[in-house]
Amino acid sequence: MINAGMSCQLIHYRHEEHDKFFEVCKNFDAIIVRCNPGQIKADGGDQGKFDDGMRHDGMRAMRKLGVQVWPSPDVMEFMGAKDALCKVANLNIGLPDTMAYYTEADFAAGFKKTMAFQPRVIKQNRGSSGEGIWIIKLKGGNYCSAYGERSCTDDEMLDMMEANDNHAETHSVAEFVEFCVNGRTNKSGTWTSKGDGKYLEGGKAAGGQLVDQRFCPRIVEGELRYNMVVDALVGIIHKKPKEGGISAVSGTGSVYTFYGPEETKFKNLTDNFLKVDLEYIMPSLGLADEPVPLWWTTDFILASPEGTPAEQEKWIVGEFNCSCVGISKCLAAFCKDDKPNACYSDIAVEDLKEAQRYGDLMGCKALSILDMVQNPVSVSSITKVATDNLGLKKQPPNPKYKTALAQIYVRCQPYGGSDKSSNGHRYDSIPFANGMISVGMSCQLIHYTHQEHSAFFNVCRNFDAIIVRCNPGQIKADGGDQGKFDDGMRAMRKLGVQVWPSPDVMEFMGAKDALCKVANLSIGLPDTLAYYTEADFAAGFKKTMAFQPRVIKQNRGSSGEGIWIIKLKAGNYCQSYGERSCTDDEVLEMMEANDNHGETHTVAEFVEFCVNGRTGKSGNWTSKGVGKYLEGGKAAGGQLVDQRFCPRIVEGELRYNMVVDALVGIIHKKPKEGGISAVSGTGSIYTFYGPEEPKFKSLTENFLKRDLEYIMPSLGLAEEPVPLWWTTDFILASPEGTPADQEKWIVGEFNCSCVGISTCLAAFCRDDAPNACYSDISVENLREAQRYGDLMGKKARAILNMATGRGLGARCPGVNRIAFLMEGETTMSAHGRCIGWTDCDLTDTGKMQAFEAGKMLRDECFCFDIVFTSVLRRCIRTAWCAMQECDSFAMPVINSWRLNDQHMGKLEGATWAEAMAGFESARAKCKESSFYNVAPPAVDQSDPRHPLNNRLYKHVPKMALPASESLCATVNRVLPFFHDTISPCVMAGKSVMVCAPGAALAAMCMQLEGLSESDVTSMQMMSPGALLVYEVDPSLNVLNKYVLRK
């Protein structure tokens, strides 16, 4: 464990310290149980209490707390029980005619029937080292030819051998049944066995059971013991019984031969066991939620008749053992009569090296199990496709929401598709997932395989949200059905699971006719048309083409394929729309956007190609595409969009990269000289800008502040959130010479279907980098990608908060909230000047800070019953802006002069440096050790800065208005209002927000937290627009405190 980077402490259980022991155990991630069966009882303890503890403590309770226990009591019980052989009977390693008995009646009837048919092995559940395992034959050899043809009579005689020591006994059927049920009685005859019988005692719940299995005569050739570390075979032991014996139990003269895990003579068994059956063993035993044991063995018996080729041999399980299996290489370290001081140092160097090899492998496997079980949703029912989760953060222990990132690995394509890292994940999946984890949500990386469609969606319903990162066409390329996958995701949406982006969002937003639906927004062109039928296209296109150059866009293509920029060769456009329509023989000059190649065709040929593809009527085309853009009709995505050509496209497009409603970057894509399309690979030039780029300010403001909120409703997606990660391409539609602030940019395309994070491109595999992985991304690029991912996490959490009402601001009985909002940046603070009671306004930055605060409140489901501010406009406007952004308007807003800032006297309007010098001078004069009791130089009553000269305070008693204030005086002014007005509202269960300057907020924090004078002095320095939330009980005792951050 330690070599794998984990800690491992050695502890002992004492039944007298049962409660203390399990209190300690709660603090571990995993507990490896190495208590040999019977030893707890031998020490005076209770194994049942250790295992279960009446469901209050014990190992089962540890599992409920999320602590891994290897092996857990249930694993030891169900895997070690002999009836495990019945539960795996239908696997390759099982025998279908294996039966289990738990009652006397079932045993007597069943055994008599099986015994009459063929030799049997009867196995008790509780014994060890072969005790109570009986190999039995009919002494008379009179087996029936078909199972069930007859049953043995009570007086038929049995030849029996017990596996613990290969001793033989002869008994009647009745005597054997009596011994198995009641032990030695006057009806059981005389037994030389060391055991006591009574194998069904206590019933099934107490482990009373017998397993009845067909006898495999080739057991005399020996058994195979497979030593396993979780799912890894580390060695094979062939155990051959002593001549004339059947059991190869240690101490009976048996011969042991040791083989490596790759031994070729057992290849058929090894492949069947490890590759076919192993994944089904735990589910078959009713242990689907438990990992395969850390260190365990399986004993196999050869069931095939002699002469069977090795590659066709059938080996069956004789026994699983996971209950404190020993490492035989360490046997020199255990004490015995002749070695009472045996210790670790007695183990030979070679043996120790082998033992440590096992131990190191256990450590790696244990770490892997912990990684898997720390995923909040079990995904064991679907195939794990990726080989590792390189770069993924640890899942939070109690995630706020559980999310998954769904991917597709195309098994028939190199590297699993053109967007994969070498471990099978999409190249940019890790920043997405880590972004979710960074805000307290879990995010598990899963893959869709169409053969596991039902299992996949059964897993998906356990998540709160699914991020779909399946590149278009890849599900089909892997042999699946995109429509079936989409319907599965739609079913998730109906169950309340968020899907980003949902199939409807991808369909309606990605479809080219989205441009028609936003035609009347600032970012649209009103004369944008869509065609779904041949007749509409032919008539409409001939009319628009006769009027002006056009862009015709197919719906299905990518990278510019099927997007045509078209002009009339003769240039004979009509003066007004509808004045004429083109004739079929008019000639068109055309350029396709995928590679900027040119073609010349008649109107009729173009219509034919768009509708029917290459035919005898379409002429000769050099396009890489096949046309047929309307194929399948509207329902199948068959459509063409007809948009006015904007000649300034040659100057380039703008791509806006968006995380939900936040712009994170702008890319200017300029076509190669002489080209029109700026698709990657055509020689275009890309220039990158930040989201605040001033030259695009007009477009940015129109898009984000005017149009964004209407885009989803315009597309028929009012119930869906804006996509998590998406782009919009804009084309400049204004004529040359238009001032920048009046330019009109129109949408050329929305894209939300698996948009990539370009800074992660170094992680995707290609011929020159077949092993590309997360580690290949440069530190700088990774930092930028994670910045996007972290923002996605915050936005995703906000979407889930709003969808579920489970944000930090959600109402909770017994928990009241008061949020303190710091005023935004002002026209004075922006220039580093002291404000005090000066009634200045917010800057544009200050307003944005207030809007951001409102977004944070909205995203965390805060809804206030009442708002308090000072009488200063900067505080009032901060509150208004925040409330506007979080859609909270219907609450009273109360303004009070008592929530004003500290009055700075003559220092109001001074620079911070001048103010600090003034405070230092004042402090020196009054000989104060801190600034808490220091007031700046006072203004006289004639000074405009004195409150007596401001109409805001005409109703305030003159004696209460300060000429300057110390922080102490400010606190004494604020607290009466806090006690008399604000506190009663909070104590009454109202959700309260207070928007005020730093000094006033510090005074209230001082009261709530019992802060010192020095703490209050430092708290004044809250940043503009900061949000500090206190959760309190009805008596105003602070339960929790946190800062909401952007």
Asked if pLDDT for residue 980 goes beyond 70, the answer is yes
Asked if pLDDT for residue 200 goes beyond 80, the answer is yes
For residue 213, which phi and psi values (nearest 5 degrees)? -130, 145
Mean of all residue pLDDT scores within the chain: 90
pLDDT tens string 1021-1033: 678 999 999 999 8
The model's confidence at residue 1014, banded by pLDDT at 50, 70 and 90, is low
pLDDT at 53: 42
Going 10 to 13 to 14 to 16, the CA torsion angle's sign is positive
pLDDT tens string 841-898: 999 999 999 999 998 998 888 989 999 999 999 999 999 999 988 877 778 999 999 9
d(CA 842, CA 4) in angstroms, rounded, equals 56
Share above pLDDT 70 across residues of the chain, in percent, rounded to a whole number: 95
Residues 991, 863: contact at Cβ < 8 Å? yes
Residues 422, 414: contact at Cβ < 8 Å? no
Minimum mean pLDDT range among 675-689, 812-826, 927-941: 675-689
Cis peptide before 37 (omega within 30 of 0): no
Asked if pLDDT for residue 604 goes beyond 80, the answer is yes
Residue 750 DSSP symbol:
E
DSSP collapsed to 3 states, 874-940: HHHHHHHHHHHHCCCCCCCEEECHHHCCCCCHHHCCCEHHHHHHHHHHHHHHHCCCCCCCCCCCCCC
Asked if pLDDT for residue 158 goes beyond 80, the answer is yes
The model's confidence at residue 682, banded by pLDDT at 50, 70 and 90, is low
pLDDT at 55: 36
pLDDT tens string 372-391: 666 788 887 899 999 999 99
List the one residue out of 20, 69, 68, 77 whose CA is nearest residue 47: 77
The model's confidence at residue 912, banded by pLDDT at 50, 70 and 90, is confident
Q: In the predicted model, what is the mean pLDDT of residues 636-654?
A: 89
pLDDT at 1018: 60
Minimum mean pLDDT range among 50-64, 221-235, 246-260, 735-749: 50-64
Q: Residue 361: CB partners within 8 Å, gap ≥ 6?
A: 229, 232, 234
pLDDT at 86: 87
Q: Using CA atoms of 956, 958, 963, 964 in order, give the dihedral in degrees to the nearest 10.
A: -50
Q: Which is more confident, 960 or 67?
A: 960
Beta strands 1027-1032 and 1038-1044, pairing class:
antiparallel
Amino acid sitting at position 819: A
Minimum mean pLDDT range among 179-183, 816-820, 1018-1022: 1018-1022
Q: In the predicted model, what is the mean pLDDT of residues 338-348?
A: 95
pLDDT at 1010: 85
Q: Residue 591: CB partners within 8 Å, gap ≥ 6?
A: 564, 565, 597, 598, 599, 675, 676, 677
pLDDT tens string 319-329: 899 988 999 89
pLDDT at 891: 84
Cis peptide before 501 (omega within 30 of 0): yes
d(CA 388, CA 366) in angstroms, rounded, equals 15
The pTM (predicted TM-score) of the whole model is 0.60
Amino acid sitting at position 678: A
pLDDT at 349: 95
Q: In the predicted model, what is the mean pLDDT of residues 8-14?
A: 96
Which runs of E-coded beta strand occur in 577-647? 587-592, 598-602, 640-644
d(CA 840, CA 402) in angstroms, rounded, equals 46
pLDDT at 867: 96
The model's confidence at residue 54, banded by pLDDT at 50, 70 and 90, is very low
d(CA 372, CA 289) in angstroms, rounded, equals 11
pLDDT tens string 563-598: 999 999 999 999 988 899 999 999 999 999 888 899
Asked if pLDDT for residue 925 goes beyond 80, the answer is no
d(CA 548, CA 642) in angstroms, rounded, equals 11
Q: Which residue has the tokens 């390189």?
A: 390
Minimum mean pLDDT range among 121-135, 667-681, 983-997: 667-681
Q: Which is more confident, 409 or 91?
A: 409
Beta strands 296-302 and 255-259, pairing class:
unpaired
The model's confidence at residue 919, banded by pLDDT at 50, 70 and 90, is confident
For 251, counting Cβ atoms within 10 Å of its Cβ (0-12 exposed, 13-18 middle, 19+ buried), the class is: exposed
